[in-house]
Amino acid sequence: MSSDARAQVPAPGRLYLVPMPLGDMSPEECLPVSTLRVVGSLRHFIAENARTARRFLTRVPLAAPIRELVIEELNEHTPTGAIPALLQAVLAGMDAGLVSEAGCPVVADPGAGLVALAHRRGVQVIPLIGPSAPLLALMASGLSGQSFRFAGYLPQEPTARDAALVQLDEDARRNRCAQIFIETPYRNATMLEAILLNCRRDTLLAVAIDLTLPTEEVITRPVRDWIASPRPSLHRRPAVFVIGA
């Protein structure tokens, strides 16, 4: 390639990792002005769910009409071979935002493959400030913030899920660390009962519900006290579970 041809190749844009509110609330209530300013300047987005992203963007001051924005989807159904095409606009010089459905992108969400590819292609990756449910739950739990592990979603199949809970409980005790994990809202009550059945009675369990919302609850008590106490309502409410010794 000649030097003239190389000079015509545009510098890549930047890939911003855009946090989303954890529930139905105004972005101004949980995102700093600096994050909203960057989001409002973007015209290209890669979202886990285009409808959710569009609803979020209608509540952000935008530099361009929302009908002019490009929103492409990247979720658990996106084949690996389709990921390079999602980065083409950035490689052509356009800044873009990677958007989750809630909380921070990539953390228990799709997107790591796109971010890894961006690094390999020399694209600057910039995480923006915003809420992260696992970290908020850990902060409020009273369990170890010096040593912790995020296990994401545990297996759905009951036998595998129960085995995973026993292992997390043992690891928490052996390594004196907090174990953070999540479940889809409609299975939260089932997960809570599985924890109470499989973890030791003196294990501490924190359940953080509806984080950042007016209905937020964070409850930490030993498993034995959870068993003896009325359960909080978990039906279709986003929750994070944390266990520790």
Q: What is the DSSP string of 68-86?
A: G-EEEE-STTS-GGGHHHH
Strands 204-209, 217-222: pairing is antiparallel
Residue 236 burial (CB < 10 Å; 0-12/13-18/19+)? exposed
Of the CA atoms within 13 Å of residue 98, those in its CB half-sphere come to 29
Q: 223 in helix, strand or coil?
A: helix
Task: Indicate the pTM of the whole model.
Answer: 0.89
Question: What does the pLDDT profile of the chain (245 residues) look like in tens digits?
Answer: 445 545 577 899 999 999 999 988 899 999 999 999 999 999 999 999 999 999 999 999 999 999 999 999 999 899 999 999 999 999 999 999 999 999 999 998 889 999 999 999 999 999 999 999 999 999 999 999 999 999 999 999 999 999 999 999 999 999 999 999 999 999 999 999 999 999 999 999 999 999 999 999 999 999 999 999 999 999 889 999 999 98
Contact 126, 37 (CB under 8 A): no
Cα–Cα distance between 173 and 171 in angstroms, integer? 5
Indicate if the alpha-carbon torsion angle 126, 27, 237, 187 is positive or negative: negative
Indicate the DSSP class of residue 185. G
Q: How far is CA 243 from CA 95, 107, 152, in A?
A: 40, 19, 13
Alpha helices for the chain (secondary structure H)? 3-8, 33-41, 50-57, 83-86, 88-91, 112-120, 133-141, 158-175, 188-198, 223-228
Nearest to 216 by CA among 195, 237, 243, 192: 237
Cα–Cα distance between 215 and 236 in angstroms, integer? 13
Lookup result for tokens 């510098």: 11
Cβ-count burial 73-102 (b if 16+ within 10 Å, e if not) = bbeeebeeeebeebbebbbeebbbbbbbbb
